[in-house]
Amino acid sequence: MSDTSIKRRDFLRVLGIGGAALGAGLTIPNVIARTENGVLVESKDEYGGFLVEKMTNGKYPYQCNLDILKRMSEKFTVFSRNRWDPARLNRPELTEDLEDLYLVKGKGKVPNRTRLDYAFMAASWCLANSRRYPSYKWDVQSGMVRFLKRINPHPWDPGDLDMSWEDASIVVKHAARFYGASLAGIAQLNPFWLYSDHYAPTKEQRARAIPVLSEGERFEQTDDAWYIPKSMNSVLVLAFEEDFQAIANSPGKLASAAVGNGYSRMAFTAFTVAEFIRALGYRAIPAGNGVGLSIPMAVDAGLGQLGRMGLLVTPKYGPRVRLAKVITGMPLIPDSPINFGVTEFCEVCMLCADHCPNGAVTKGPFTWEGKSPSNNPGVYKWYAEPEKCYDFNGFSCSNCKRVCPFNKPNNSWLHRMIRQIVKSKIRILDKIMVTFDQAGGYGEQLQDSKFWKMNGDKTITGREEM
């Protein structure tokens, strides 16, 4: 064992992994070495075989400027702006509105937009869009709010079962995966990632927003403010893999089905995990895109890094995930953020920017500020322009995910390259490898006709055998 190698017991202590994890037979990553920022680990199960640096020294794989960074207003997300911002009123008509037309007999024969594809897409969104089961909409009216606030009055103590809080945190992530998450991580909630207000339009006032206050211990939604207790300072972040072949159909409707399927699974799982936590006697707020910014929470929770396209890139699934979260007062132990060379790779790769049909992804360097009112300045990163993304093809596009080398399962040349980046911190990459990969056909659109002839086992759960 080299000087930089560490013993398994030390590693478990550094990562806060306790007896319950071992007892439950959870896979423990291989430890390669200590680094300046933490430890280098490798795990096929957790990280898809990538070499990953777990940052255990309190650092994060991004920089913030606290003179610029402010909590973002939900009113300025592109979804909200579409409803009140005059600059968005003339946006291209959403082709998704044609859905009903395409479901009529005799319509919908265009490849990748057939009636079959539309039906597949429409069904995939049903749980996420349901008015009847608004699973992760914390702002829903009437009985739902009372339901969300109800908790068991006797908080569970893991010591009752000879478990530590490290063990309990693993148990909660285990439950999250049981209920349907592909990945789960825990972070201490950074209040900067909560929205400063909730966009709450009325008929009379389309731009109305109400402040979200998180300074005291009040837990309530009123017409004038939402109150999140300061003690709800943990966030469990959930990632949901999107089907590889369906995303490969982008910008066809099957890709939109993969997105809708992700949203519907988000709704079910976030709601169910939150209810599990409440049954243990702790407060929990399940959320999809609402309440706060999911991507920085996911980075803090060690699920991945931010890529050039402005999305989370995970080691196991690349950017092919959707995110939900559960904010809670349960004293969970945070995971470490990770670095697996995404920034260095994206500096050279550019594939998402080259294949974005609407110029939403920048080809420039990191900046502190974006170009869009929907960007939240103050983090040094690549800012994407969500309006351009939204306006292309009725928001059905996932081209950037389709072409990203991190999206490709078992991508051996990328594994080798990332290993070099992470171990030796080299910043110059061989773009020829990226080009060769494209020349080999990877990243091309998969036709719907081919998708429908595939064995269903090759969708989501069959990915690892590909």
Task: Quote the CA–CA distance of 344 and 221 in Å, as a whole number.
Answer: 43
- Residue 337, sorted as left (phi over 0), alpha (psi -120 to 50) or beta, turns out to be beta
CB of 316 vs ligand SF4, minimal distance in Å: 14
CB of 443 vs ligand SF4, minimal distance in Å: 9
Residues 320-379 that bind ligand SF4 (CB under 6 A): 345-346, 349-352, 356-358, 360-361
CB of 354 vs ligand SF4, minimal distance in Å: 8
CB of 343 vs ligand SF4, minimal distance in Å: 9
* Cβ distance to ligand SF4 smaller for residue 336 or 393: 393
Long-range CB contacts for residues 280-283, cutoff 8 Å, separation at least 24? 280/152, 280/155, 280/156, 280/330, 281/151, 281/152, 281/153, 281/154, 281/155, 281/156, 282/151, 282/155, 282/156, 282/328, 282/329, 282/330, 283/149, 283/151, 283/219, 283/229, 283/232, 283/328, 283/329, 283/330
Does 405 sit near ligand SF4 (CB under 6 A)?
A: yes
Helix%, strand%, coil% for the chain, nearest 5: 40, 15, 45
Task: Match 């929990």 to its residue by tokens.
Answer: 284
* Cβ distance to ligand SF4 smaller for residue 31 or 352: 352
CB of 456 vs ligand SF4, minimal distance in Å: 25
* Cβ distance to ligand SF4 smaller for residue 310 or 337: 310
Q: In what order do the strands lie in the sheet with 183-188?
A: 183-188, 234-241, 321-328, 284-287
CB of 310 vs ligand SF4, minimal distance in Å: 7
Does 399 sit near ligand SF4 (CB under 6 A)?
A: yes
Does 50 sit near ligand SF4 (CB under 6 A)?
A: no
Two structure tokens written together for 294: 């999911």
Contact region with ligand SF4 (CB under 6 A), list: 81-89, 134-142, 190-198, 384-392: 384-392
How is residue 208 annotated by DSSP?
-
- Positive or negative, the Cα torsion across 40, 443, 297, 167? negative
* Cβ distance to ligand SF4 smaller for residue 120 or 340: 340
CB of 150 vs ligand SF4, minimal distance in Å: 39
* Cβ distance to ligand SF4 smaller for residue 214 or 362: 362
How many binding residues for ligand SF4 (CB under 6 A)? Answer: 26
CB of 412 vs ligand SF4, minimal distance in Å: 16
Does 17 sit near ligand SF4 (CB under 6 A)?
A: no
How is residue 72 annotated by DSSP?
P
Does 307 sit near ligand SF4 (CB under 6 A)?
A: yes
Task: Quote the CA–CA distance of 198 and 112 in Å, as a whole number.
Answer: 37
Task: Quote the CA–CA distance of 319 and 344 in Å, as a whole number.
Answer: 16
292, 273 in Cβ contact below 8 A?
Answer: no
The correct pick among 333, 392, 411, 448 for binding ligand SF4 (CB under 6 A) is 392
| 146 Cβ neighbours under 8 A, 6+ residues apart | none
CB of 36 vs ligand SF4, minimal distance in Å: 24
Helical ranges in 165-212 per DSSP H = 165-178
* Cβ distance to ligand SF4 smaller for residue 199 or 392: 392
The correct pick among 400, 418, 422, 429 for binding ligand SF4 (CB under 6 A) is 400
The correct pick among 406, 411, 417, 429 for binding ligand SF4 (CB under 6 A) is 406
User: Rounded to whole angstroms, what are the CA distances from 106 to 86, 101, 109, 111, 140?
Assistant: 38, 10, 8, 14, 39
How is residue 314 annotated by DSSP?
B
Does 398 sit near ligand SF4 (CB under 6 A)?
A: yes
* Cβ distance to ligand SF4 smaller for residue 140 or 433: 433
Two structure tokens written together for 345: 């790779």
Does 299 sit near ligand SF4 (CB under 6 A)?
A: no
Does 404 sit near ligand SF4 (CB under 6 A)?
A: yes
CB of 1 vs ligand SF4, minimal distance in Å: 33
Residues linked to residue 186 through DSSP beta bridges, in sequence order: 236
Chain contacts with ligand SF4 (rule: CB under 6 A):
307-309, 313, 345-346, 349-352, 356-358, 360-361, 384, 389, 392, 397-400, 403-406
